[in-house]
């Protein structure tokens, strides 16, 4: 009896441990509810690639400050103590009575020195070149943000498609289970053979296997969304938007020519290439301006003497003109290099303009085709559902075997997949059109 009581106590403790969380234990975190617009916003502003692009822009802005520093005043302070002697004859002093070695003696000196560039055409051009490079870095950051927004949008749509596929496979499993029950009822009534039950069960097993595959694909798609957003892959996601006809939207003009004009004005990759060409041309101007005279001002003031108490104020003011004459033709080589870089950028700009037009045209073609296919797929899904309903009625009435019913079930499965694929194709075409127009970050 005691052994039985101890066994019951152990079973009760085990059941309490496995039944649920212990009192006071923190509940599981709620999933992150994520809309399509929120995913795009996060990716375009917080994705790691976008953050890195922002840092590169900061680096370019810092180089502007470095280039500007050459034109601004420079102030320094020095202080020193000296104890020395020297050879008078080495200095050209050979008068009678002057000793050969003079000293030792000490000297103290404390001084402030300021320098200011008064005129430097090359420095001014280098500042302009640095600003053009910073503009290009900012445009490149915009291009990275556009790519991140489009990538997150596509990842979200793939996850929404996977969610729709899971729902379709669940509906397939429910229909297959219903048809198994119908086949068993028909067999029990004596109007159907045992093979009909076997066929129905085979379809149910196949539907359950397809559901497992669909759920795995959904989990993988959610992982892709977390990577596109740069968040912890273990974060549980709940997508609040479905693969509907209204997803996504970027508020683009209706006319193709207007979309092309918008793309030529707003595509950040084109803007970045234009800025790179401008930077190369400005750098060439800066190199050419190095041949011009440069005017600098230098002044200092300080105290100097044999002892601190005997120190007196001294000063110096000077203006210096520097005229470059020859540097071994290195300047000409650097200018030729920048000229080649500018011509290379012009070629890329011309090609990018053509690419913009091609991207918009291709996206419009894909969108028109996908929207037409979406209407056909919707009608096919309706007809497949009607076919399955009629086949079920015929089988229930005993006027047909379940081969016809299984064929109708397979037709409905294909129609569901076709409808999901058509909606996904239309959504991805809208993303492609927004990116072609340079408006991926405005997707919602």
The domain tally of the chain equals 1
Q: What is the per-residue pLDDT across 252-271, written as a single tens digit (0 to 9) for each? A: 888 999 999 999 998 999 99
Host H or E run for residue 62: helix 48-69
Confidence of residue 26 (pLDDT cuts 50, 70, 90): low
DSSP code of residue 104: E
Residue position matching structure tokens 């009575």: 97
Q: Compute the chain's Rg from CA coordinates.
A: 40
Length of the chain: 444
Q: Which residues have a Cβ under 8 Å from the Cβ of 286 and sit 6 or more positions away? A: 122, 123, 125, 126, 128, 129
**271 lies in a domain?**
yes
Query: What does the pLDDT read at residue 2?
Result: 41
**328 lies in a domain?**
no
**88 lies in a domain?**
no
pLDDT of 244 strictly over 70? yes
Q: State the residue range of the domain holding 226.
A: 33-71+123-290+346-442
Q: What is the per-residue pLDDT across 317-330, written as a single tens digit (0 to 9) for each? A: 999 998 888 888 88
Contact 267, 356 (CB under 8 A): yes
Look at 162 and 87; give whichever has higher pLDDT: 162
pLDDT of 18 strictly over 50? no
* DSSP codes, 243-304: S-TT-------SSHHHHHHHHHHH-HHHHHHHHHHHHHHHHHHHHHHTTS-EEEEEEEEEEE
Q: How many helices (H) and strands (E) does the chain have?
A: 9, 6
Average pLDDT of the residues in 157-178: 91
Beta bridge partner(s), residue 379: none
Query: What does the pLDDT read at residue 76?
Result: 94
pLDDT of 297 strictly over 60? yes
Host H or E run for residue 86: strand 74-87
The sign of the dihedral angle between the CA atoms of 225, 230, 232, 236 is negative
Average pLDDT of the residues in 143-159: 93
* Separation between Cα atoms, residue 135 and residue 348, nearest integer Å: 17
**CA geometry: angle at 211 spanning 207 and 212, to 5°?**
120
Q: What percent of the chain has pLDDT over 70?
A: 93
* Separation between Cα atoms, residue 15 and residue 128, nearest integer Å: 75
pLDDT of 25 strictly over 90? no
Look at 95 and 338; give whichever has higher pLDDT: 338
**276 lies in a domain?**
yes
**199 lies in a domain?**
yes
Q: What percent of the chain has pLDDT over 90?
A: 40
pLDDT of 3 strictly over 80? no
Query: What does the pLDDT read at residue 251?
Result: 83
Average pLDDT of the residues in 137-165: 92
Contact 335, 412 (CB under 8 A): no
Cβ count near 361 (within 10 Å): 14
**311 lies in a domain?**
no
CATH number of the structural domain spanning residue 239? 1.20.1600.10
pLDDT of 421 strictly over 90? yes
Q: What is the per-residue pLDDT across 40-66, written as a single tens digit (0 to 9) for each? A: 999 988 888 889 989 999 999 999 999
Q: What is the per-residue pLDDT across 386-404, written as a single tens digit (0 to 9) for each? A: 988 888 888 787 777 778 8
Confidence of residue 27 (pLDDT cuts 50, 70, 90): low
* Separation between Cα atoms, residue 373 and residue 422, nearest integer Å: 6
**240 lies in a domain?**
yes
Give the three-class secondary structure for 72.
Answer: coil
* Separation between Cα atoms, residue 160 and residue 408, nearest integer Å: 26
pLDDT of 165 strictly over 80? yes
Mean per-residue pLDDT of the chain: 86
**10 lies in a domain?**
no
Query: What does the pLDDT read at residue 250?
Result: 83
């Amino acid at each position: 009896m005691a052994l039985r009581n101890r066994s019951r106590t152990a079973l009760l403790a085990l059941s309490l441990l496995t039944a649920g969380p212990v009192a006071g234990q923190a509940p599981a975190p709620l999933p992150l509810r994520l809309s399509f617009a929120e995913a795009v916003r996060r990716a375009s502003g917080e994705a790691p690639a976008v953050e890195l692009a922002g840092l590169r822009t900061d680096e370019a802005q810092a180089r502007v400050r470095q280039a500007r520093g050459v034109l601004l005043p420079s102030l320094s302070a020095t202080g020193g103590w000296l104890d020395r002697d020297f050879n008078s004859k080495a200095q050209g002093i050979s008068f009678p009575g002057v000793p050969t070695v003079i000293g030792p003696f000490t000297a103290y000196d404390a001084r402030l020195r300021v320098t200011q560039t008064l005129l430097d055409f090359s420095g001014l051009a280098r500042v302009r070149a640095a600003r053009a490079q910073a503009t290009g870095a900012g445009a490149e950051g915009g291009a990275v943000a556009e790519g991140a927004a489009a990538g997150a949008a596509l990842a979200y749509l793939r996850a929404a498609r996977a969610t729709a596929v899971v729902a379709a496979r669940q509906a397939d499993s429910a229909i297959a289970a219903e048809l198994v029950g119908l086949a068993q009822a028909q067999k029990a009534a004596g109007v159907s053979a045992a093979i009909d039950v076997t066929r129905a069960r085979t379809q149910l097993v196949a539907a359950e296997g397809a559901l497992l595959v669909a759920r795995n694909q959904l989990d993988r798609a959610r992982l892709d969304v977390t990577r596109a957003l740069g968040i912890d892959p273990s974060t549980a996601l709940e997508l609040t938007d479905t693969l509907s006809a209204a997803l996504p939207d970027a508020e683009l003009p209706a006319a193709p020519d207007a979309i092309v004009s918008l793309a030529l004005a707003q595509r950040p990759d084109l803007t970045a290439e234009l800025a790179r060409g401008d930077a190369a041309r400005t750098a060439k101007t800066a190199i050419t301006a190095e041949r011009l005279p440069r005017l600098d001002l230098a002044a200092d003031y300080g105290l100097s003497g044999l002892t601190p108490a005997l120190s007196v104020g001294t000063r110096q003011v000077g203006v210096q003109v520097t005229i470059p004459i020859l540097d071994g033709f290195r300047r000409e080589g650097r200018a030729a290099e920048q000229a080649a870089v500018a011509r290379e950028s012009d070629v890329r700009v011309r090609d990018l303009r053509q690419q913009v037009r091609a991207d918009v045209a291709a996206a419009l073609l894909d969108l028109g085709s996908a929207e037409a296919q979406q209407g056909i797929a919707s009608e096919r899904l309706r007809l497949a559902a009607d076919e399955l309903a009629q086949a079920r009625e015929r089988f229930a009435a005993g006027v047909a075997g379940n081969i016809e019913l299984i064929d109708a079930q397979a037709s409905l499965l294909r129609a569901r997949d076709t409808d999901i694929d058509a909606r996904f194709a239309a959504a991805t075409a809208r993303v492609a059109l927004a990116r072609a127009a340079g408006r991926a970050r405005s997707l919602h």
